[in-house]
């Protein structure tokens, strides 16, 4: 199954690559960091990006040191050195947070740490991790395996989750010195980039072998019919917002703080949604019981349930009248009523099931067939039923073996991505084929390959 990544043109839904705009409506003007207004107290540079407000603090600002999380002084039991990431190049590993982190209004519990100086925030691992859905303090072609002193460390105390790339070197640019920087995800939704050692100017870093980015990005995934195989569906990733920092401002002992702004997703009722004074065009979807602008990670559901059409010309009173009319005692139970309270994440995952996924479980629905059997059929001799059961078991084992062989040979197929989304942490990790035109990453298994460690950091 192919995965394509697209960005919207300037006059459509999303932000152009050069500068972020609002996710809908008229573009929001964005001042470069060099010309943004500065508060009087710290002279830091501030910019509004619709979803976040960023504040850049220079090396001489006390706030830049306050924002740096000293991992060396943290509780040793909460600091982990990822031994695989610390000894490899272009690898990524899933990590579970101890708290729900709000990223563009979406609550996340799992993230993916990459050796290339960024965190992938998406649900589905694919070969183009560097394209969208990232938190990148300094995305570049880092190779922690070059030196024994290079480590990828993370720290979680329940209030903040910190990833630190410590003394890492650029592939092919090792003579320029080592980099030390970190990304901190705070429980209140703030994101902080801290830079301790930046030995060279960031604009000088080559992007020929790996993208060079500093900032945030989020995207949504939708399913479209594949032109090559009509019965299958193709995943397309659309980047709806991006924040790009000025790389020339990234220096040693500088810091950037992103403070989240309210989004439509925070509203839990129709009245709060429709009366919202946010810059987004918030609409209420009564079927999903969700407030949204239509441009977030739940867009697939928003389209599948016709939320955009449902909200046109409707008021909260209209929805309440419909609810009271449908809640009369004579109303029969609808088989979809139970699905209306399902969480957004589970609904989104279920919608990704394709025909290929169904083929992996050819005996699904067997109970329903058995219930329709006549009493005469259920009275079949026991030995015949035993034979049938053995035959079915053999066929099931053969199907599982064939499915495993197929998934290993086609790691980017529908079936492979289906199991990746649902796999427990102890499942073998899927490695993706390299592609000459993209920065590919292989996912490594975090369980059993980590050890608790303590990193001795130099004093600032």
Q: Identify whether the C-beta of residue 51 lies closer than 8 Å to the C-beta of residue 28.
A: no
DSSP one-letter string for 400-442:
HHHHHHHHHH-TTSHHHHHHHHH--TTSPPPPPPP-TTS---E
Does residue 343 register a pLDDT over 80?
A: no
Q: What is the pLDDT of residues 44-53, one digit of tens each?
A: 577 778 899 9
How many CA atoms are closer than 13 Å to the CA of 343, on its beta-carbon side?
6
pLDDT for 415 equals 64
Does residue 235 register a pLDDT over 90?
A: no
* Closest to 247 measured CA to CA, from 217, 216, 209, 205: 205
Structure tokens at 329: 């005692």
pLDDT for 219 equals 94
Structure tokens at 185: 């995800």
Does residue 327 register a pLDDT over 60?
A: no
Q: Would you call 94 helix, strand, or coil by DSSP?
A: strand
CA distances for 245 relative to 35, 193, 201, 263, angstroms: 13, 11, 14, 22
Confidence of residue 411 (pLDDT cuts 50, 70, 90): low
Question: Which residues, 6+ apart, have CB-to-CB distance to 38 below 8 Å?
Answer: 44, 45, 46
Q: Identify whether the C-beta of residue 443 lies closer than 8 Å to the C-beta of residue 430.
A: yes
pLDDT for 325 equals 52
The residue that leads in pLDDT, 190 or 433, is 190
For the CA atoms of 328, 329, 335, 340, what is the dihedral angle to 10 degrees?
Answer: 50
Q: Would you call 444 helix, strand, or coil by DSSP?
A: strand
DSSP conformational letter for 327: T
CA distances for 30 relative to 16, 96, 390, angstroms: 12, 34, 67
The residue that leads in pLDDT, 398 or 348, is 398
H or E element that contains 204: none
Confidence of residue 292 (pLDDT cuts 50, 70, 90): very high
Q: What is the pLDDT of residues 390-408, one digit of tens each?
A: 989 999 998 888 887 877 6
How many CA atoms are closer than 13 Å to the CA of 75, on its beta-carbon side?
7
Does residue 348 register a pLDDT over 50?
A: no
Confidence of residue 372 (pLDDT cuts 50, 70, 90): very low
Average pLDDT, the chain: 74
Least confident of 63-67, 75-79, 291-295, 356-360: 356-360
Does residue 332 register a pLDDT over 90?
A: no
pLDDT for 374 equals 36
CA distances for 23 relative to 15, 36, 107, 246, 329, angstroms: 7, 21, 19, 21, 43
pLDDT for 25 equals 38
Confidence of residue 414 (pLDDT cuts 50, 70, 90): low
Does residue 276 register a pLDDT over 80?
A: yes
């Amino acid at each position: 199954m192919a995965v394509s990544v697209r960005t919207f043109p300037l006059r459509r839904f999303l932000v152009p690559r050069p500068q972020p705009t609002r996710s809908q409506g008229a573009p929001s003007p964005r001042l470069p960091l060099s010309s943004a207004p500065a508060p009087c107290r710290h002279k830091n540079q501030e910019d509004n990006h619709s979803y976040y407000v960023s504040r850049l603090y220079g090396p001489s600002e006390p706030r830049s040191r306050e924002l740096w999380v000293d991992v060396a002084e943290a509780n040793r039991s909460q600091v982990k050195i990822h031994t695989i990431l610390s000894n490899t190049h272009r690898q990524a590993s899933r990590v579970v947070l101890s708290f729900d982190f709000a990223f563009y209004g979406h609550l996340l519990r799992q993230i993916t740490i990459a050796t290339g100086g960024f965190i992938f925030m998406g649900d589905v691992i694919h070969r183009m991790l560097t394209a969208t859905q990232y938190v990148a303090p300094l995305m570049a072609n880092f190779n922690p395996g070059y030196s024994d002193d290079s480590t990828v460390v993370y720290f979680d105390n329940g209030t903040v989750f910190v990833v630190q790339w410590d003394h890492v070197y650029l592939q092919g640019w090792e003579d320029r010195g080592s980099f030390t920087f970190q990304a901190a995800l705070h429980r209140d939704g703030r994101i902080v980039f801290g830079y301790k050692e930046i030995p060279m100017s960031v604009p000088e870093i080559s992007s020929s072998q790996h993208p060079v980015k500093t900032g945030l990005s989020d995207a949504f995934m939708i399913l479209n019919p594949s032109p090559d195989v009509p019965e299958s569906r193709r995943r397309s990733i659309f980047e709806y917002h991006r924040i790009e920092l000025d790389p020339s401002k990234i220096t040693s002992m500088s810091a950037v703080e992103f403070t989240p702004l309210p989004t439509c997703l925070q509203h839990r009722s129709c009245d709060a949604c429709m009366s919202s004074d946010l810059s987004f065009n918030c609409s209420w979807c009564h079927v999903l019981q969700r407030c949204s602008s239509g441009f977030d990670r739940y867009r697939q559901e928003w389209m599948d349930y016709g939320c955009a059409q449902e909200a046109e010309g409707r008021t909260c009173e209209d929805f309440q009248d419909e609810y009271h009319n449908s809640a009369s005692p004579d109303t029969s139970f609808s088989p979809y009523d139970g699905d209306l309270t399902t969480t957004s994440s589970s609904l989104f995952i279920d919608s990704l099931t394709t025909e290929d996924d169904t083929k992996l479980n050819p005996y699904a629905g067997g109970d329903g067939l058995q219930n329709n059997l006549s009493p005469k059929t259920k009275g079949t001799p026991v030995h015949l039923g035993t034979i049938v059961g053995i035959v079915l078991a053999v066929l099931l084992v053969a199907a599982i073996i064939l499915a495993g062989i197929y998934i290993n040979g086609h790691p980017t197929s529908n079936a492979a991505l289906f199991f990746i989304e649902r796999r427990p942490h102890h499942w073998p990790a899927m490695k993706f084929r390299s592609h000459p035109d993209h920065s590919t990453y292989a996912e490594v298994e975090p369980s059993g390959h980590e050890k608790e460690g303590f990193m001795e950091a130099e004093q600032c």
